Amino acid sequence: MAAWARAVRGLLLDVSGVLYDSGGDGGVPIAGSVEAVRRIKASGLKLRFCTNETQATREKFVKKLQGMGFDISVDEVTAPAPAACRILKERSLRPHLLVHNDLVPEFAEIDKANPNCVVIGDAAENFTYANLNEAFRVLIGMEKPVLISLGRGRYYKETDGLKLDVGAYMKALEYACDVQAEVVGKPAKMFFESALAEMGVPPQQAIMIGDDIVNDVGGAQRCGMRALQVRTGKYRSVEALRPALRGGNRGKRGSNCR
């Protein structure tokens, strides 16, 4: 065993595409994933479930995973919505929400009157022209537009195929309003730093495991971690040829787990 592997104290584990494929009646566990989580916990390694899930509250998300047989609790999950709420409170921001209906309860304690920013997540069917245009009008009417995105993923996999993710719609608003979005989900450095702090493990002693070469692998590497890309979920062999980092340390690439 390599010296770096012996020094590992914690794992950051992506969920959708790594533990299960979403869609259908809520999702289907990937073969061996329930047992893998059980073995990780039995090993004594610290574990953090890191997700860009923005179609449900953490409570509902965890309940779904528990129903699939996973040993997981809410306090083991790092997700974008709670991080966004902290930012909104700290900066006295009042959001116009363009998010999935099931995520709205996460923002129950946030003042949303007279919005002075826009928060965008994976709104799924709520990504209509009318809703996107309403978010555009809120932003374009501000002297200094503030756009907060709960991720910047390009696409994700459900049981019926690949689906456009929040990043595509975030880019549309960025372009239309000439604004740079503040990303609070993966691959933002703040997201990974928060997960590491919650585990009490330094980046040099942690590994990120995910199916996204940019958001999971690249984001973790920029934070000083090692990362592994699994060949499930959104993984496609063509992506393995791309550098995980753009404009950074091009000598480090995500490993591919067989």
Instruction: Identify the CATH number of the domain defined by range 80-183.
Output: 3.40.50.1000
From the number of C-beta atoms within 10 Å of its C-beta (0-12, 13-18, 19+), residue 3 rates as: exposed
- What are the tens digits of pLDDT across the range 13-48? 999 999 998 765 668 899 999 999 999 999 999 999
C-alpha separations of 138 from 3, 59, 114, 118, 142 in Å: 53, 30, 10, 7, 7
Above pLDDT 70, what percent of the chain?
88
Residue 126 CA to residue 116 CA, distance in Å, equals 21
pTM of structure: 0.80
Average pLDDT score over residue span 167-188: 96
**Which two tokens mark 168?**
């595509």
Residue 203 CA to residue 149 CA, distance in Å, equals 24
Domains 3-79+186-257 and 80-183 share a fold: yes
- What are the tens digits of pLDDT across the range 152-164? 989 887 778 888 9
- Count Cβ atoms below 10 Å from residue 172 Cβ, excluding itself: 15
All structural domains of the chain with their residue ranges:
3-79+186-257, 80-183
CATH topology classification for 3-79+186-257: Rossmann fold (3.40.50)
- What are the tens digits of pLDDT across the range 38-96? 999 999 999 999 999 999 999 999 999 999 999 999 999 999 999 999 999 999 999 99
